[in-house]
Amino acid sequence: MTFKFKINSTLFIMLTLTLSIASCSGSDKEKDNVNGSNPYVELEKASWLIGTWQNNSSEGSSTEIWRKENDSTYVGESYFVIESDTVSYEEFTLTQIGGRLSFTPTVRNQNNNKPVKFDLTSMMNKQLVFENLKHDFPQQISYTQINGDSLLAQISGVVDGKLQSMKFPMSRIK
């Protein structure tokens, strides 16, 4: 009887150790997320941009739409409408390559309809700041989340030796 108890005790200890070890080792995907090695974590920090944003004023209506294209890229478009005329239109991407984010707008009828890349220079407190000091205007583009349903987009730069800035407050409509 004593021998049988020792075998059961040994089996019990082995099973307990095996289960303990197995419970500590999750799937690779779980480990990646727990250890912070998700390759697109920087882009995910900007997920609050996803949705449809709008600003209506006496001058017209500005709409910006963001959606997730894939794990490494958000895409969007922005347009400004006065009465029934679209007076400006742009498409943009927010892309993570390696650990770096880039915002790349293509504005219709500007820059020969070619994209202009702005690199992320700051990300903190729900604010993204992108810069391209070689661009004529703007040299800086920022997005700041005010709360879950509002954000502030801002463009700024130097024009004729003077700092110029334009702010675009927006509310979430979707």
Tens of pLDDT along 56-105?
999 999 999 999 999 999 999 999 999 999 999 999 999 999 999 999 99
Name the CATH superfamily housing domain 41-172: Calycin beta-barrel core domain (2.40.128.20)
| 97 close to 72: Cβ distance less than 8 angstroms | yes
At residue 36 the predicted structure's pLDDT band, cuts being 50, 70 and 90, is low
Q: Residue 112 carries which DSSP code?
A: G
Whole-angstrom Cα distance, residue 138 to residue 145?
20
Rg of the chain over Cα atoms, rounded to whole angstroms, equals 25
Of the candidates 109, 160, 151, 157, the residue with the CA atom closest to the CA atom of residue 128 = 151
Helix (H) or strand (E) run with residue 75 in it: strand 73-82
Q: Which of 8-12, 13-17, 129-133 has the lowest mean pLDDT?
A: 13-17
Digit-coded pLDDT (tens) for 123-159: 998 999 999 999 999 999 999 999 999 999 999 999 9
- The residue ranges of every structural domain in the chain are 2-34, 41-172
- pLDDT surpassing 80 at residue 20: no
Q: What token pair was written down for 33?
A: 């997320």
Do the beta carbons of residue 139 and residue 133 sit within 8 Å? yes
Distances (CA, A) of 24 to 53, 82, 113: 43, 59, 53
Residue 114 has what pLDDT? Answer: 96
Q: What is the pTM of this model?
A: 0.77
Which tokens is 97 given?
Answer: 């390559």
